[in-house]
Amino acid sequence: GIQVEQSPPDLILQEGANSTLRCNFSDSVNNLQWFHQNPWGQLINLFYIPSGTKQNGRLSATTVATERYSLLYISSSQTTDSGVYFCAVGLLMIYNQGGKLIFGQGTELSVKP
Protein backbone atom coordinates (compact mmCIF):
# COMPACT_ATOMS: atom_id res chain seq x y z
CA GLY A 1 0.00 0.00 0.00
CA ILE A 2 0.87 3.66 -0.19
CA GLN A 3 3.33 4.87 2.45
CA VAL A 4 3.18 8.42 3.81
CA GLU A 5 6.06 9.93 5.76
CA GLN A 6 6.03 13.31 7.42
CA SER A 7 8.97 15.29 8.73
CA PRO A 8 9.91 16.56 11.18
CA PRO A 9 7.90 14.65 13.80
CA ASP A 10 8.16 17.56 16.26
CA LEU A 11 8.89 21.25 15.85
CA ILE A 12 9.23 24.07 18.37
CA LEU A 13 9.16 27.63 17.08
CA GLN A 14 9.32 31.09 18.52
CA GLU A 15 6.36 33.24 17.57
CA GLY A 16 7.05 35.03 14.29
CA ALA A 17 9.32 32.34 12.86
CA ASN A 18 8.73 30.54 9.57
CA SER A 19 8.65 26.78 9.04
CA THR A 20 8.36 24.11 6.37
CA LEU A 21 6.70 20.75 6.91
CA ARG A 22 7.28 17.94 4.45
CA CYS A 23 5.18 14.98 3.29
CA ASN A 24 6.64 12.19 1.13
CA PHE A 25 4.43 9.54 -0.42
CA SER A 26 5.31 6.35 -2.22
CA ASP A 27 2.89 6.16 -5.17
CA SER A 28 0.67 8.20 -7.49
CA VAL A 29 -2.43 9.56 -5.78
CA ASN A 30 -5.74 11.21 -6.70
CA ASN A 31 -6.04 13.26 -3.57
CA LEU A 32 -3.64 14.99 -1.18
CA GLN A 33 -4.66 17.11 1.75
CA TRP A 34 -3.14 18.92 4.69
CA PHE A 35 -5.03 19.05 8.00
CA HIS A 36 -4.50 20.87 11.28
CA GLN A 37 -5.64 19.22 14.48
CA ASN A 38 -6.21 21.80 17.19
CA PRO A 39 -5.76 21.19 20.93
CA TRP A 40 -9.45 20.25 21.20
CA GLY A 41 -8.99 17.41 18.73
CA GLN A 42 -10.81 18.96 15.79
CA LEU A 43 -9.33 18.20 12.37
CA ILE A 44 -9.53 21.18 10.07
CA ASN A 45 -8.86 20.89 6.37
CA LEU A 46 -6.15 23.37 5.33
CA PHE A 47 -5.50 22.50 1.70
CA TYR A 48 -6.74 20.08 -0.91
CA ILE A 49 -3.66 20.04 -3.15
CA PRO A 50 -2.96 16.99 -5.36
CA SER A 51 -0.62 19.19 -7.43
CA GLY A 52 0.54 22.78 -7.74
CA THR A 53 0.67 25.59 -5.20
CA LYS A 54 -2.01 27.23 -3.08
CA GLN A 55 -1.93 30.00 -0.53
CA ASN A 56 -4.28 30.92 2.27
CA GLY A 57 -3.10 33.83 4.38
CA ARG A 58 0.10 32.92 6.19
CA LEU A 59 -0.10 29.31 5.02
CA SER A 60 0.82 27.94 1.64
CA ALA A 61 1.32 24.48 0.20
CA THR A 62 3.09 23.00 -2.79
CA THR A 63 2.75 19.49 -4.17
CA VAL A 64 5.14 18.09 -6.76
CA ALA A 65 3.20 15.00 -7.79
CA THR A 66 5.88 13.71 -10.18
CA GLU A 67 8.40 13.65 -7.32
CA ARG A 68 5.84 12.47 -4.75
CA TYR A 69 6.17 15.11 -2.07
CA SER A 70 4.26 18.02 -0.65
CA LEU A 71 5.37 20.95 1.48
CA LEU A 72 3.38 23.08 3.91
CA TYR A 73 4.80 26.53 4.66
CA ILE A 74 3.84 28.49 7.75
CA SER A 75 5.04 32.07 7.83
CA SER A 76 5.09 34.45 10.79
CA SER A 77 3.89 31.69 13.10
CA GLN A 78 1.45 32.44 15.90
CA THR A 79 0.67 30.53 19.11
CA THR A 80 -2.69 29.57 17.58
CA ASP A 81 -0.79 27.59 14.91
CA SER A 82 0.17 25.05 17.56
CA GLY A 83 -1.18 21.54 17.15
CA VAL A 84 -0.58 18.56 14.91
CA TYR A 85 -0.36 18.87 11.14
CA PHE A 86 -1.32 15.82 9.11
CA CYS A 87 -0.74 15.04 5.47
CA ALA A 88 -3.14 12.53 3.88
CA VAL A 89 -3.07 10.97 0.44
CA GLY A 90 -5.85 9.11 -1.30
CA LEU A 91 -6.48 6.80 -4.16
CA LEU A 92 -9.70 5.79 -5.86
CA MET A 93 -9.94 2.03 -5.55
CA ILE A 94 -13.44 0.79 -6.02
CA TYR A 95 -15.06 1.14 -9.45
CA ASN A 96 -13.99 4.83 -9.47
CA GLN A 97 -16.38 5.43 -6.61
CA GLY A 98 -14.64 4.83 -3.36
CA GLY A 99 -11.31 4.59 -1.71
CA LYS A 100 -9.50 5.76 1.35
CA LEU A 101 -7.04 8.33 2.56
CA ILE A 102 -3.76 7.26 4.10
CA PHE A 103 -2.55 9.57 6.87
CA GLY A 104 1.00 10.35 7.84
CA GLN A 105 1.99 10.25 11.49
CA GLY A 106 1.83 14.02 11.75
CA THR A 107 4.12 16.88 12.77
CA GLU A 108 3.51 18.26 16.25
CA LEU A 109 4.11 22.01 16.20
CA SER A 110 4.49 24.13 19.29
CA VAL A 111 4.74 27.90 18.88
CA LYS A 112 6.07 29.71 21.93
CA PRO A 113 5.17 33.35 22.70
Partner 1 sequence: DVKVTQSSRYLVKRTGEKVFLECVQDMDHENMFWYRQDPGLGLRLIYFSYDVKMKEKGDIPEGYSVSREKKERFSLILESASTNQTSMYLCASLTGGFNQPQHFGDGTRLSIL
Please give the Cα distance from 3 to 105 (Å, whole number).
11
- For the bound state, the minimum distance from the C-beta of residue 64 to partner 1, rounded and expressed in Å, comes to 19
Check residue 5 for interaction with partner 1 (CB under 8 A): no
Check residue 92 for interaction with partner 1 (CB under 8 A): yes
Please give the Cα distance from 47 to 109 (Å, whole number).
17
Check residue 101 for interaction with partner 1 (CB under 8 A): yes
- For the bound state, the minimum distance from the C-beta of residue 95 to partner 1, rounded and expressed in Å, comes to 8
CA-based end-to-end distance of the chain: 41
- For the bound state, the minimum distance from the C-beta of residue 103 to partner 1, rounded and expressed in Å, comes to 5
Check residue 28 for interaction with partner 1 (CB under 8 A): no
* Interaction site with partner 1 (CB under 8 A): 30-31, 33, 35, 41-45, 48, 50, 86, 88, 90-92, 94, 96-101, 103-106
